Amino acid sequence: MIEINNLSVSRDGARILHDVTLNVPPGRLAAIIGPNGAGKSTLLHCMAGLLPPDCGQVLVNSRNIHALSEARRALILSLLTQAQGTIPRLSVQDLVAFGRWPHHRGRPTATDRAITAKALARFDLDQLATRNVETLSGGQRQRAFVAMAYAQSTPWMFLDEPLAALDPKYVRDIMDRLRDMTGDKTGQRSIALVLHDLSVAARYADFCIAMKAGRIIAAGPWRDIVTSDLLSDLYDTPLRVAQLDGVPVVMGL
């Protein structure tokens, strides 16, 4: 469980998050949605312990995340940021293996190597394992970074818009795999991710957090959040949730 209590956060002197109180249940795929500038990335960074709050606190599995060392945090959560900044000059295999660093701190074991191999296979990267990350397409690179976060084997995974630059096949592949990791099945991961595509959120997320102007507008099971009225209000534009062959789709009107 993540418990966020009365959290306020500023950046460069400007208040970005206002009195956020929110519980994110474990074992779920929790989607954070909301318009550009709503504070989604700021919230995720603060949940990861990277931005100090002005007031309030974030408890991840009952631990105050801002009171932990970076080394301890890296065993509890992984964070894939929205822009990965400089692209590392590493092979895909070495990038994914880097996800194991918090566990071995420079001395990889057979277990670390086995988990790296599993992550490469799980994200369909075996064919690209020896390629330099710099030479990959945007979508291939994105998959490699998600695989690195997966290899970190943390109970919580935070992903900021992990589907940017992915074509539909890989959107489905990655979302299917992320969903398979949550719940009571293999691995038991809890995932919180920022999603831009509302139809993807409607289809895959089982918990949704709607944000606007630095506040939580609503949070709960996706059926309560992904409604035509709530989304139209959230985005200040007419949106409609429809069903297509039993699958929810969100359309602009």
- Under rule CB under 6 A, residue 42 binds ligand ADP: yes
Residue 9, both tokens: 């956060």
- Under rule CB under 6 A, residue 14 binds ligand ADP: yes
Tokens 């990335």 — which residue? Answer: 41
Q: State the nearest-atom distance from the C-beta of 6 to ligand ADP, in Å.
A: 18
Q: State the nearest-atom distance from the C-beta of 228 to ligand ADP, in Å.
A: 22
Per CB under 6 A, which of residues 107..126 are in contact with ligand ADP?
none
- Under rule CB under 6 A, residue 212 binds ligand ADP: no
- Under rule CB under 6 A, residue 41 binds ligand ADP: yes
214: left (phi over 0), alpha (psi -120 to 50) or beta: left
For ligand ADP, give the closer residue by CB, 121 or 213.
Answer: 213
For ligand ADP, give the closer residue by CB, 44 or 174.
Answer: 44
Q: Residue 32: what are its φ and ψ, rounded to 5°?
A: -100, 120
For the chain, report the end-to-end CA distance as a whole number of angstroms: 37
Nearest to 200 by CA among 176, 233, 165, 228: 176
For ligand ADP, give the closer residue by CB, 36 or 62.
Answer: 36
Determine which helix (DSSP H) or strand (DSSP E) holds 211, and give its type and residue range: strand 207-212
Q: Which range binds ligand ADP by CB under 6 A, 30-38, 53-61, 116-124, 136-144?
A: 30-38
Q: Which residues sit at the interface with Mg ion, rule CB under 5 A? A: 40-41, 82
Residue 142 touches which of ligand ADP, Mg ion, none (Cβ within 5-8 Å per kind): none
Nearest to 179 by CA among 71, 171, 246, 7: 171
Residue 39 touches which of ligand ADP, Mg ion, none (Cβ within 5-8 Å per kind): ligand ADP
Q: Which of 22, 29, 30, 38 binds ligand ADP (CB under 6 A)?
A: 38
179: left (phi over 0), alpha (psi -120 to 50) or beta: alpha
Residue 163, both tokens: 């589907």
- Under rule CB under 6 A, residue 36 binds ligand ADP: yes
Give, in order, the Cα–Cα distances in Å from 19 to each of 34, 95, 136.
17, 37, 41
> What order do you get walking across the sheet with 2-11 strand by strand?
14-24, 2-11, 55-60, 63-64
Nearest to 210 by CA among 239, 230, 238, 182: 230
For Mg ion, give the closer residue by CB, 102 or 162.
Answer: 162
For Mg ion, give the closer residue by CB, 31 or 151.
Answer: 31
Q: Map residues 79-108 to x or -, x wherever contact with ligand ADP holds by CB under 6 A.
A: ------------------------------
Cα–Cα distance for residue pair 3/64, rounded to 1 Å = 9
Q: State the nearest-atom distance from the C-beta of 43 to ligand ADP, in Å.
A: 7
For Mg ion, give the closer residue by CB, 112 or 160.
Answer: 160
Contact footprint for ligand ADP (CB under 6 A): 11-12, 14, 16, 34, 36-42
